[in-house]
Amino acid sequence: MVKQYIILLGFVFVFTLTQVVNSENVLNIDGMYVTTEDIISDIVFPTIDKRVINEYWQDTLFGWEWKRIVDITYNDNHSYDVSVRIVIPSKNPDDYKEDLVKVRISPSCDSDKFNKSKCNHGFKIEIVDYKHLSP
């Protein structure tokens, strides 16, 4: 009888050990949130970055800073015009430059729900207007 309990206890022990699963480490991101501005920034950042480099190629740049979205406009061809205010710092803190960049985001028109006569483009991002706000 004792032998049966020892064998049963052995099976339970072996069964328990084989059921252990190692999980991967997952970052705890409970306190993190993302805004619409963060999403738009991630989408248009490379396009604006190329344009800023072209505008100020002679100056030594520390980089540019995203200030805020000024305006978002929906166009009837299923595209969005996003106006963004940016700041280009300088070695002299009083000599920073401020610009307004208008970027057109055109999502793909793959869905049959869109009017194909107005919406016939693939995904693209282009700069529509670039204004220097500071002298």
**Domain assignments of the chain as residue spans, ordered by start:** 32-132
* Cβ atoms 72, 52 nearer than 8 A: no
Mean of the per-residue pLDDT values of the chain: 79
Its pTM stands at: 0.68
**Overall size of the chain counted in residues:** 135
Fold held by 32-132: Nuclear Transport Factor 2; Chain: A, (3.10.450)
Measured distance CA(53)–CA(85) in Å, rounded: 16
Using one digit for the tens of pLDDT, what is the confidence trace for 101-134?
999 998 888 877 777 777 878 889 999 999 999 8
Q: Which of 135, 111, 105 is nearest to 123 (CA)?
A: 105
Confidence at residue 58, expressed as pLDDT on a 0 to 100 scale: 58
